[in-house]
Amino acid sequence: MSNLKQMVLDYGKVYPGNVLKVDSFLNHQIDPHVIKSIENDFYQYFKNKGITKVLTIESSGIAPALMVAYRFDVPMLFAKKALPSTIKSEDKYETLVHSYTKNTSSNVFISKEYLDKDDKVLIIDDFLANGEAAAGLADLIEQSGAETVGIGICIEKSFQPGRERLEKAGYDVYSTCRIKSLGDGKIEFYE
């Protein structure tokens, strides 16, 4: 069993509405050993894709994305949820993303300065439920003319439609931990 799966079993908490809380090792407090094992899984799966950038969305995806970018020796870029004064409206790519866990929608931005048509981008995110964040990040990549070469997910709730949506759109999706069910407060993995 992977380090991440074991941590999910040992410390993950199931909440109503199919919400899995992993704040003690992935989303709020971060266990570097878990992130290292995730980074290695992503590297092994995506190592032949010619990646030039790793993209995530703030904030929970930053830790795994940074480790993956370090392993690939490429820059890590994250989409911001608030437009800073240093980015003019004409100098950004923008899309709307809905968060399943927070039940909010946010416009997210990246500067045109850091993504262009020659980039081969790997998206990394902490969770996959309905695929909103990953699809939004792929939209930003598409706006730039770059290529999405893959989507790496730390924890996937396979009983929700995110994977199907992303694969239907033609994306290569790899998840280090796939959850089949959170029924009755029990975590069951998809093998």
Does residue 80 have a known ligand-binding role?
no
- Residue 117 CA to residue 139 CA, distance in Å, equals 13
Does residue 20 have a known ligand-binding role?
yes
The DSSP result for 128-155, as a single string, is ESSSHHHHHHHHHHHHHT-EEEEEEEEE
Helices vs strands, H then E, count in the chain: 5, 10
- Residue 69 CA to residue 97 CA, distance in Å, equals 23
The three-state secondary structure class of 129 is: coil
Does residue 65 have a known ligand-binding role?
no
Does residue 188 have a known ligand-binding role?
no
Among residues 4, 12, 54, the alpha carbon closest in space to that of 177 is found at 4
Does residue 4 have a known ligand-binding role?
no
Does residue 17 have a known ligand-binding role?
no
Does residue 27 have a known ligand-binding role?
yes
Does residue 18 have a known ligand-binding role?
no
- Residue 190 CA to residue 164 CA, distance in Å, equals 15
Consecutive H or E run containing 9: helix 3-11
Tell me the longest C-alpha to C-alpha distance in the chain: 49
Instruction: Say if residues 157 and 179 touch (Cβ distance below 8 Å).
Output: yes
Which residues make up each annotated binding site for xanthine?
Answer: 20, 27, 157
Which residues make up each annotated binding site for 5-phospho-alpha-D-ribose 1-diphosphate?
Answer: 129-133
Which residues make up each annotated binding site?
Answer: 20, 27, 129-133, 157
